Amino acid sequence: MWYVYILRSQSHPEQEYTGASENLRQRLADHNAGKSPHTAKFWPWTLLWYCAFPDKLPTLAFEKYLKSHSGRAFAKKRLLPGDVEAATDRNFDSRTIT
């Protein structure tokens, strides 16, 4: 399985990051360990949303869309919680990721 995901910084709640990975659990751990130069200065991160895809190419295409102007608007309106504090206060249990 491949995953597209959206993270929100706990230390800077206005910062969000969209990515794709075949191993979401490990990728979130990498983001929170500072192993990604794009996210290291805003850690720790909370997983806000993810979607599983059976194949790599549709995953990367949807990630690219979500990073576009219209994709960010779509995610804000349809995928993400509107209350930043509620989203960052949720307890994320990584065991729910398959």
pLDDT of residue 97: 52
Q: State the burial class of residue 15 (Cβ atoms within 10 Å of its Cβ: 0-12, 13-18, 19+).
A: middle
Torsion of CA 28, 34, 35, 38, to 10 degrees: 90
Q: What is the pTM of this model?
A: 0.82
The secondary structure element, H or E, covering residue 49 is strand 45-53
pLDDT of residue 85: 47
What tens digit of pLDDT does each residue of 30-89 get?
999 999 999 999 999 999 999 999 999 999 999 999 999 999 999 999 998 765 444 444
What residue spans define the domains of the chain? 2-68+80-91
What tens digit of pLDDT does each residue of 23-36 get?
999 999 999 999 99
Half-sphere exposure of 23 (CA within 13 A, CB side): 5
Class for domain 2-68+80-91, per CATH?
alpha beta
